[in-house]
Amino acid sequence: GQQLNQSPQSMFIQEGEDVSMNCTSSSIFNTWLWYKQDPGEGPVLLIALYKAGELTSNGRLTAQFGITRKDSFLNISASIPSDVGIYFCAGHRSTSYGKLTFGQGTILTVHP
Amino acid sequence: AAGVIQSPRHLIKEKRETATLKCYPIPRHDTVYWYQQGPGQDPQFLISFYEKMQSDKGSIPDRFSAQQFSDYHSELNMSSLELGDSALYFCASSLGASGETQYFGPGTRLLVL
């Protein structure tokens, strides 16, 4: 069953605004990943976080691995129209060799 | 940089038919993962392989089987297809069995009529 709660489910923002989304879990993950998916395409890895407390940036994207290892957030600064898409968080446990557990996704719409 | 390659990109099958999806991982990646994504859903893990051995198993139906070959490519075989099998099927690859950082392919869209 679903173990990651991602919010918000959708966001409608104006170009230039900042965006924040987060994922929480009732259990610990050892790695947090953030992906962006365009309709009909595969998820594209944006940021990977490997240590509790880690703060990582990738251009206008910033993500943090929560201290408790049960949450993570993604911020997008100065949004642009091409940021439109579905953003997924995903968690990985070291006890699980393959499985990524995904959040429900955040649908981002950016109005020019 | 080379990415994960999946074929075919689109597939239409009738109920009770079989389908084979192929995945070619990023060069030097030794681990492949298969995920199923239904409309409006998040990807659900099916199965993974490391060095040609099954490394983890998720919610994969018994009608499905998969394997990884000596060149590290993988095939997902789906038999007795049902309408509910219509979905996007993604393959991901990583270097090493830990599965921490997985890179996804473009997916195969399967439609079962």
Q: Under an 8 A CB cutoff, do B56 and A33 touch?
A: no
Q: Give the per-residue pLDDT at A1.
A: 47
Mean pLDDT of B44-56: 93
* CA distance, residue B41 to nearest chain A CA (Å): 7
**The two three-digit tokens of residue B37, written as one number:** 């994504």
Q: What angle do CA A109, A86, A7 make, to 5 degrees?
A: 85
A contact residues 4-63, partner B, Cβ 8 Å cutoff: 30-31, 33, 35, 40-45, 48, 50
Q: Give the per-residue pLDDT at B79.
A: 97
Q: Under an 8 A CB cutoff, do A45 and B102 touch?
A: yes
- Residue of higher predicted confidence among B87 and A99: B87
Residue A86 makes CB contacts below 8 A (sequence gap 6+) with A36, A37, A38, A39, A105, A106, A107, A108
Q: Give the per-residue pLDDT at B97.
A: 72
Neighbouring CB atoms inside 10 A of B73's CB total 16
Q: Give the per-residue pLDDT at A3.
A: 73
Across the strands, what pairs with B50? B31, B53
Mean pLDDT of A34-39: 95
pLDDT in tens, B56-110: 899 899 999 999 999 999 999 999 999 999 999 999 999 887 767 899 999 999 9
Q: How many CA atoms lie within 13 A of A65 on its CB side?
A: 20
Q: Give the per-residue pLDDT at B23.
A: 98
Q: How confident is the model at residue B49 (pLDDT cuts 50, 70, 90)?
A: very high
Q: Give the per-residue pLDDT at A104.
A: 95
What phi and psi, each to the nearest 5 degrees, are found at residue A83?
-75, -10
- Please determine, for residue A31, whether its predicted confidence score (pLDDT) is greater than 60: yes
Mean pLDDT of A86-104: 88
Q: Under an 8 A CB cutoff, do A48 and B58 touch?
A: no
Average pLDDT, chain B: 94
- Please determine, for residue A2, whether its predicted confidence score (pLDDT) is greater than 60: no
What Å distances lie between residue A97 and A78, B29, B37, B45, B57, CA to CA?
A: 37, 15, 20, 12, 9
What SS3 string covers A26-81? CCCCCEEEEEEECCCCCCEEEEEECCCCCEEEECCEEEEECCCCCEEEEEECCCCH
Q: Give the per-residue pLDDT at A99.
A: 85
The 10 Å CB-count burial string (b at 16+, else e) for A46-76 is bbbbeebebebeeeebbbbbbeebbbbbbeb
Mean pLDDT of B30-48: 94
What is the rounded distance in angstroms from the CA atom of residue A40 to the CA atom of residue A37?
A: 8
A102 neighbors A88 (Cβ within 8 angstroms):
yes
State the DSSP H helix or E strand holding residue A111, giving kind and residue range, or none if neither: strand A106-111
Q: Give the per-residue pLDDT at B99.
A: 67
pLDDT in tens, A46-85: 999 999 999 999 999 999 999 999 999 999 999 999 999 9
Q: Give the per-residue pLDDT at A73.
A: 97
What is the rounded distance in angstroms from the CA atom of residue B45 to the CA atom of residue B34?
A: 6
Q: Under an 8 A CB cutoff, do B97 and A100 touch?
A: no
**The two three-digit tokens of residue B25, written as one number:** 């991982």
Q: Give the per-residue pLDDT at B44.
A: 94
Using DSSP bridges, classify how beta strands A106-111 and A10-14 pair: parallel, antiparallel or unpaired.
parallel
